[in-house]
Amino acid sequence: KNEVEQSPQNLTAQEGEFITINCSYSVGISALHWLQQHPGGGIVSLFMLSSGKKKHGRLIATINIQEKHSSLHITASHPRDSAVYICAVGGGSRLTFGEGTQLTVNP
Amino acid sequence: DAGVIQSPRHEVTEMGQEVTLRCKPISGHNSLFWYRQTMMRGLELLIYFNNNVPIDDSGMPEDRFSAKMPNASFSTLKIQPSEPRDSAVYFCASGSGGPPPDTQYFGPGTRLTVL
């Protein structure tokens, strides 16, 4: 069993739909990160969470430390949200990455 | 700011050759990370520097890999000798605060192909 598991692996949505990507982890962590990797390969750090919820524009990230689970939500999805979303969990400097969720938003 | 700068963007080399990847972090950032991404293993942390000092190099695969950070504005990742299994995209990221930093800013990556 991987230390970090994401679901679903692939997700296709229609523009405007509400999207949820899940991340479960099995190790103790000090923080959880959500990253976005664009089709061209560039990686952008979206959120770092250690508790509760964070919101940035149409993106919302939540974490439940007791359940070792985090979700990334995208409201009013748009084709430009199409990317791979990667969950990473960390203790100190070491990050362990999930395999990513490939999101495709169709117009 | 130009963001994290990596060079070269693409590198094709033959097995056994020395490869040097370069990274210029964002000015003022005191943390620098080298990552490797492959289809099989996804993203992996190779090494983490804080204030130019290697803090965690447990992800460096083997003695063929070495990384240096001679000053706050430059780092190198060297592979000698290179092997086909080293083919991957190598990302450099930098951040401030912490350690470790809350947010890491990634460079565009160097796509390495070892024939």
- B42-90 residue pLDDT tens: 899 999 999 999 998 988 988 899 999 999 999 999 999 999 999 999 9
Contacts of B110 in chain A (CB under 8 A): none
Closest chain A residue to the Cα of B92, Cα to Cα = A43
Distance from chain centroid for Cα B101: 17
- The pLDDT confidence band at residue B20, using thresholds 50, 70 and 90, is very high
DSSP for B36-82 reads: EEETTTEEEEEEEEETTEEEE-TT--STTEEEEEEETTEEEEEESS-
Distance from chain centroid for Cα A19: 11
The minimal CB distance from A45 to the residues B45, B104, B109 is found for: B104
pLDDT digits (tens, 9 = 90+) for A17-55: 999 999 999 877 878 999 999 888 889 989 888 889 999
Decide if A94 and B45 are in contact by the 8 Å CB cutoff.
Answer: yes
Closest chain B residue to the Cα of A84, Cα to Cα = B42
Contacts of B3 in chain A (CB under 8 A): none
Closest chain A residue to the Cα of B32, Cα to Cα = A93
Decide if B103 and A45 are in contact by the 8 Å CB cutoff.
Answer: yes
| Residue from A36, A83, A43, A42 nearest A61 by CA | A36
The pair of structure tokens assigned to B2 is: 């130009």
**Helix (H) / strand (E) containing A15:** none
Residue B111, SS3 per DSSP: strand
Q: Give the dihedral of Cα atoms B78, B82, B83, B88; nearest 10 deg.
A: 40
Query: From its phi and psi, is residue B64 left (phi > 0), alpha (psi between -120 and 50) or beta?
Result: alpha
